[in-house]
Amino acid sequence: MDTAVTTPLAAPTQARQVSRSWGQWSLRAVALLYLCVMLLLPLAAVLSDGLSGGLGGLWTDISRPAAWFALRLSLWTAAVMTVINTVMGVLTAYVLVRYNFPGRSLFNALIDIPFAIPTLVTGLMLVVLYGPQTALGGFLKTQFGWEIIFAPTGIILALLFVSFPFVVRTVQPVLMEIDLDQEDAAATMGASGWMTFRRVLLPALAPAVATGALLSFARALGEFGSIVIVAGNFPVRSQTAAVYVLSQIESDSQHSASAMSVVLLAIAFSLVFIVDLIQRRQEHGEAGR
């Protein structure tokens, strides 16, 4: 971004301008080359392999029972997680922003734990807590016939753990900017707490909530480390899409692995695209106000 400043001392400044823009050009080239080599090239490799048999070939690979089951399991567990995570995330963000209570800053810091802990360790924690041989896991199984490990419940718990910060951390800053006065005004005019929430807070929060929910859903679809520990690797029982990709790589079925990868990438890209649209509309709205 060279500014065209014309000075009387044109000669030396101009020379520096030229050498500087050469430097700028090479910096830009290095940066973009880095992104191309590290991100675009690997992406191209997966897409071209997955689409080498055309969309028909992709469909044949995806419609196999094990693949289809894995994809559906990933989608529905991620959807359940997203609903719970959205409700609890908004509640947590609201409590953190609106109320002052003892232990608030510690509570706030603990929310980031899932960002820091390796997801494999998360899976292990859940197995240690709810596994069939543990006190709690054994109790739940014998008393209620409720299996958590190697079952969808375990997958949902793992997904809830790893994606907990997403909604909280996207809603929190937006909530901070909404004036308490607006809520108070609604309350003095006789609106109930629920009404205030629905009419005042929810419309303002909706874009942030949608962003957080979609991102956590996208994150959950690709989740692997915690799920492979919690749910194991049993086809047509507890195998999710990402674990399915691993099993296909291990059994040298490159086509099935690539096909599932392409489907997962396509879903993730669409979600990111929607998030981008929401954010642009949001910025637009703010600029117009």
CB of 90 to other proteins, least distance (A): 10
CB of 13 to other proteins, least distance (A): 10
The smaller minimum CB distance to other proteins, of residues 199 and 280, is found at: 280
CB of 145 to other proteins, least distance (A): 21
The smaller minimum CB distance to other proteins, of residues 46 and 204, is found at: 46
DSSP symbols for 191-256: --HHHHIIIIIHHHHHHHHHHHHHHHHHHHHH--HHHHHHT-S-TTTT--HHHHHHHHHHTT-HHH
Tokens 């191309």 appear where?
Answer: 36
Phi, psi of 143 (to 5 degrees): -80, -45
The smaller minimum CB distance to other proteins, of residues 58 and 242, is found at: 242
- CA dist 13 and 229 (Å) reads 63
Phi, psi of 24 (to 5 degrees): -60, -45
CB of 98 to other proteins, least distance (A): 6
Read off the DSSP letter of residue 133.
T
The smaller minimum CB distance to other proteins, of residues 128 and 195, is found at: 128
The smaller minimum CB distance to other proteins, of residues 170 and 219, is found at: 219
CB of 221 to other proteins, least distance (A): 7
Task: Name which of 197, 195, 240 is nearest 222 in CA terms.
Answer: 240
User: Around 253, how many Cα atoms within 13 Å sit in the side-chain half-sphere?
Assistant: 15
